[in-house]
């Protein structure tokens, strides 16, 4: 079988990564997925899925090597037959919702784990590139012919890197790309995202590695984390409403007047693919401009559920008072804009979470990592 291109998806067991694998396969890519875990809610569609720790530099060195369609990660292939991937999508990170990011209890792990992954990926890709561009003198041109292309790397940044002082007014937050400096993120997660963004840009300038950088704004949808403390606001609220009876009360952190925008997963994947196929490096916002309060988000979930839901406002981690994507730059550079309303996305997400709850209530066993241990042959 002939494939369009080869792609390496790091973080392929996670929410956005698993959706990207599906998209790339639908476009005719050969895909290797890599993560600590398999996708939790569906079977991976990657041609090959490798479990491992991207904080381990020796493991990263191996996963960056494409061994041709006849050989996979676990097979021995003569090193002269190894090539770089056409594209790498870097989604792997230590992350979660406000309940994980803003408590302060996970700051060291967030920064150490995510920075380690990004440093390993960039440095090992640089070394691999040097075996093809003549800089590594241990390889002759006869054994390692020079390539006329280099692996393009996508890095998934976050709107959490924007300065806190620009997001104090819930009705008028400033998240234009150029507003990022002077830097002042409100969390260590945001500082790590800002550092890693600059890291990718530095390797682009100094080592010629093609990169594309996006700043994601609250991506949500089916097959995302919806319980356990690392879920984002749309999933958490949909879960609470789904468990509630008519006229029940659910807990909402803070006064509920903090504002956010949320982008449905399919829109995120489309914008990311457009960025990768373009000549624009970024960084660029990928998000929705439909800003709502958290109280309004609850109301939308309640409307979708056809329940009357009351709110009990309690103390909890909040993040900034206001955040909304500004899409002027991505419209100019890529001609992309979001097309689905928040209610449409919440409707799909609520339906999926409801099915997850029903499955557990009826004793349906979740797909486990053990059941998913396979390498597709297609």
Check 29, 38, 189, 216 and give the catalytic one: 189
Residue 189 among the catalytic residues: yes
Q: What is the pTM of this model?
A: 0.90
Contact predicate 83/66, CB 8 Å: yes
Helix (H, G, I), strand (E, B) or coil at 193: helix
Instruction: Report d(CA 87, CA 69) in Å as an integer.
Output: 16
Peptide bond into 321 cis (omega under 30): no
Q: Is residue 136 over pLDDT 70? A: no
CATH of 93-220+265-287+325-339, one of 3.40.50.720, 3.30.230.10, 3.20.20.70, 1.10.540.10: 3.40.50.720
Percent of the chain with pLDDT over 90: 74
Identify the pLDDT of residue 98. Answer: 63
What residue ranges in the chain does DSSP mark as E strands?
A: 6-10, 30-35, 48-51, 65-66, 83-84, 87-90, 152-158, 211-216, 219-220, 249-253, 259-260, 263-264, 284-286, 292-293, 310-314
| 30-35 and 48-51 strand pairing | parallel
Cα dihedral 212, 72, 17, 157 sign? negative
Identify the pLDDT of residue 148. Answer: 66
Identify the pLDDT of residue 131. Answer: 81
What's the rounded mean pLDDT across residues 99-109? Answer: 79
pLDDT tens per residue, range 165-196: 999 999 999 999 999 999 999 999 999 999 99
Tokens of 223: 């097959």
What's the rounded mean pLDDT across residues 212-226? Answer: 95
Identify the pLDDT of residue 130. Answer: 87
Identify the pLDDT of residue 213. Answer: 98
User: Looking at the DSSP assignment, which residues form a beta bridge with residue 30?
Assistant: 6
How does residue 374 score in pLDDT terms, banded at 50, 70 and 90?
very low
Q: Is residue 218 over pLDDT 70? A: yes
Identify the pLDDT of residue 365. Answer: 45
User: Of 190, 288, 214, whose CA–CA distance to 16 is shortest?
Assistant: 214
What's the rounded mean pLDDT across residues 285-292? Answer: 98
């Amino acid at each position: 079988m002939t494939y369009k291109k080869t792609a390496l998806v790091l973080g392929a067991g996670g929410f956005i990564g698993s959706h990207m694998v599906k998209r790339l396969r639908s476009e005719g890519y050969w895909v290797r997925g890599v993560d600590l875990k398999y996708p939790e809610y569906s079977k991976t569609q990657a041609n090959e899925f490798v479990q491992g720790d991207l904080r381990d530099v020796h493991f990263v060195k191996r996963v960056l090597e494409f061994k041709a369609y006849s050989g996979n990660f676990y097979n021995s292939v003569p090193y002269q037959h190894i090539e770089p991937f056409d594209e790498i999508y870097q989604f792997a990170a230590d992350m979660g919702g406000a309940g994980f990011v803003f408590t302060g209890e996970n700051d060291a792990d967030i920064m150490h784990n995510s920075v380690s992954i990004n440093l390993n990926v960039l440095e090992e890709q640089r070394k691999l590139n040097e075996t093809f561009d003549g800089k590594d003198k241990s390889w002759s041109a006869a054994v390692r012919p020079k390539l006329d292309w280099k692996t393009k790397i996508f890095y998934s940044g976050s709107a959490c890197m924007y300065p806190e002082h620009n997001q104090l007014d819930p009705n008028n937050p400033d998240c234009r790309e150029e507003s990022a400096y002077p830097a002042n993120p409100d969390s260590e997660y945001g500082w790590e995202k800002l550092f890693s963004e600059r890291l990718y840009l530095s390797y682009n300038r100094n080592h010629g590695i093609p990169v594309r950088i996006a700043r994601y704004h609250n991506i949500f949808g089916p097959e995302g984390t919806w319980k356990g403390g690392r879920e984002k606001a749309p999933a958490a609220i949909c879960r609470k409403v789904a468990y509630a009876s008519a006229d029940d009360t659910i807990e909402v952190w803070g006064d509920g007047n903090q504002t956010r925008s949320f982008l449905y997963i399919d829109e995120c994947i489309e914008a990311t693919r457009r960025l990768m196929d373009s000549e624009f490096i970024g960084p660029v916002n990928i998000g929705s401009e439909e800003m709502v309060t958290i109280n309004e988000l609850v109301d939308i979930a309640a409307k979708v559920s056809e329940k009357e839901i009351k709110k009990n406002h309690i103390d909890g981690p909040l993040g900034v008072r206001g955040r909304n994507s500004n899409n002027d730059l991505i419209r100019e550079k890529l001609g992309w804009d979001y097309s689905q309303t928040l209610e449409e996305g919440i409707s799909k997400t609520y339906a999926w979470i409801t099915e997850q709850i029903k499955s557990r209530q009826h004793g349906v066993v979740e797909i486990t990592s053990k059941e998913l241990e396979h390498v597709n042959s297609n």
